[in-house]
């Protein structure tokens, strides 16, 4: 059991990293982009905007806690 | 593949491979110098074989996935990975995270290697073997991931491998020649550059995989790159100002004693 949890923990740390909100935000943004494209909107602008928000919030959170 | 895409493909894998190799080299050098080279080098060889197996197994498998699905999945993974690299690089550049210091890592690894007990079995120092194996495999896995995702999405794993291999040879040769951690390599700057490239391609391929048609087709890569650079440096400037204000607030005001 220890090895199985260790295996999943390794891949979680490797891919998701320190801030899970980034991973979740990226997945949601890509899903929304795909939905918008299917409904006829060429939403090329969505992903760059989401990246600014995710990156900004993520670094701001760290900065606010390290006083 | 356009020349721009080919350039970024080689540059990204070269830089990512170089920074990870420098980190792996520091660990192997510290262990080898203190505890002897035999077991450390066997650890390096074993990790290299393990990485080759990962690449050989995943490389052909990735080429079987339809390009649209591949770009969506790879774009998402690269974007998550890229934003994490960029986030750390921004925090380092603005003083919220310690800069990566190979000299300090080397000292710590040397001290740990000196203090660790010796377990000799089958003529091997297993501490040296394990540390060298872990160092090379874990650092190499990031390179393999970047190389495979970039290479498969651009339809040229060999070109991506060439970038990674060039860095491997360069760092290996310089490491053997100087026989010391490569602390003068601008590692933090290189990590910043890799983060910017991963994020740029993550945005481009992720959106393409979701069905977006980029205005200007491949030329959009350069505009996204410029956008990511501006945002990153903007965040560094913002965080530096925030840190200055925090420092000012935490420093007690010097009051005049009066006469």
pLDDT for B103-123, tens place per residue? 777 777 777 777 776 666 767
- Cβ of residue B214 closer than 8 Å to a chain A Cβ: yes
Q: Fill in the DSSP letter of residue B117.
A: P
pLDDT at position B253: 58
B199: chain A residues, CB-CB within 8 Å: 51
> Distance between CA B251 and CA B106 in Å, rounded?
34
Other beta carbons less than 10 A from residue B250's beta carbon: 8
Question: Do B30 and B110 touch, CB atoms closer than 8 A?
Answer: yes
Q: State the smallest CA–CA distance between residue B112 and chain A in angstroms.
A: 23
Angstrom distance (rounded) from CA B77 to CA B57 = 19
CB pair distance less than 8 Å for B235 and A23? no
Assign A67 a pLDDT band (cuts: 50, 70, 90): low
Question: 3-state DSSP call for residue B214?
Answer: coil
A17 pLDDT above the threshold of 90: no
The candidate with the shortest Cα–Cα distance to B150, out of B52, B55, B64, B78, is B78
- H-type alpha helices, B154-212: 157-178, 187-209
Residue B206 in contact with residue A44, Cβ under 8 Å? Answer: no
Q: Which residues in chain B show pLDDT less than 50?
A: 256-259
Residue B95, by phi and psi: left (phi above 0), alpha (psi -120 to 50) or beta? Answer: left
Closest CA–CA distance from residue B149 to any residue of chain A (Å): 13
Phi (first) and psi of residue B121, to 5 degrees? -135, 140
How many whole angstroms separate alpha carbon B45 and alpha carbon B129?
10
Please tell me the distance from the alpha carbon of residue B78 to that of residue B119, in angstroms, as a whole number: 40
Name the pTM for this structure.
0.76
CB contact under 8 A, B212 and A58: no
B226 interface with A at CB cutoff 8 Å = no
Nearest partner of B89 among B79, B99, B77, judged by Cα: B99
Q: Where are the beta strands (DSSP E) in chain B?
A: 120-121, 124-125
What is the token pair recorded at B112?
């740990």
Residues with Cβ < 8 Å from B183, sequence gap 6 or more?
B101, B102, B103, B106
pLDDT single digits (tens) A18-66? 889 999 999 999 999 999 999 999 999 999 999 999 999 999 888 888 7
- If phi > 0 it is left, if psi is from -120 to 50 it is alpha, else beta; for residue A48 that is alpha
**Which residues, including other chains, have CB under 8 Å from residue B39's CB and lie 6 or more apart?**
B124, B125, B126, B127, B128, B129, B132
| Residue of B69, B98, B205, B212 to mutate, testing the A interface (most A Cβ within 10 Å of its Cβ) | B212
Record: contact B213-A33, CB cut-off 8 A:
no
Residue B119: predicted pLDDT: 67
What is the per-residue pLDDT for B259?
Answer: 46
What pLDDT is attached to residue B232? 94
Two structure tokens written together for B217: 């087709």
Size of interface A-B (CB pairs under 8 A): 103
CB atoms within 10 A of CB A18: 11
Which uninterrupted H or E stretch holds B25? helix B3-35
Indicate which of B54, B82, B87 best probes the interface with A, i.e. most A CBs within 10 Å of its own CB.
Answer: B87
Q: Does B140 touch chain A (CB under 8 A)?
A: no
Closest CA to B171 of B12, B22, B11: B22
Amino acid B183: pLDDT = 65
- Our CA-based measurement puts residue B207 at a distance from the nearest CA of chain A, in whole angstroms, of 7
pLDDT of residue B82: 87
pLDDT at A3 over 70: yes
Q: What interface predicted TM-score (ipTM) does this complex get? A: 0.90
């Amino acid at each position: 059991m220890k090895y199985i949890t260790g295996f999943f923990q390794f891949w979680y740390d490797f891919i998701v990293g320190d801030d899970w909100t980034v991973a979740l935000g990226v997945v949601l943004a890509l899903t929304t982009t795909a939905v918008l494209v299917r409904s006829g909107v060429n939403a090329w602008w969505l992903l760059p905007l989401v990246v600014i928000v995710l990156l900004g919030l993520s670094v701001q959170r760290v900065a606010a806690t390290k006083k | 593949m356009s020349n721009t895409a080919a350039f970024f493909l080689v540059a990204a894998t070269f830089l990512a491979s170089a920074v990870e190799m420098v980190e792996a080299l520091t660990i192997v050098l510290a262990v080898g110098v203190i505890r002897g080279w035999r077991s450390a080098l066997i650890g390096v060889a074993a990790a290299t074989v393990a990485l080759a197996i990962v690449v050989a197994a995943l490389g052909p498998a990735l080429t079987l996935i339809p390009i649209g699905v591949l770009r969506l999945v790879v774009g998402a993974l690269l974007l998550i990975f890229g934003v994490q690299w960029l986030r750390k690089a921004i925090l380092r550049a603005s003083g919220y995270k310690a800069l990566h210091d190979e000299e300090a890592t080397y000292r710590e690894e040397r001290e740990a290697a000196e203090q660790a007990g010796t377990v000799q079995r089958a003529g091997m120092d297993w501490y040296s073997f394990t540390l060298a194996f872990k160092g090379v495999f874990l650092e190499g896995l990031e390179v393999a991931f970047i190389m495979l995702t970039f290479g498969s999405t651009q339809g040229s794993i060999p070109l991506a491998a060439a970038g990674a291999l060039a860095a491997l040879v360069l760092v290996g040769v310089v490491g053997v020649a100087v026989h010391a951690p490569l602390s003068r390599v601008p590692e933090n700057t290189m990590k910043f550059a890799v983060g910017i490239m991963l994020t740029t391609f993550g945005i481009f391929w992720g959106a393409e995989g979701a069905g977006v048609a980029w205005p200007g087709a491949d030329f959009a890569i350069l505009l996204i790159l410029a956008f990511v650079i501006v945002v990153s440096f903007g965040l560094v400037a913002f965080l530096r100002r925030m840190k200055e204000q925090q420092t000012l607030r935490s420093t007690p005001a010097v009051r005049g004693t009066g006469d």
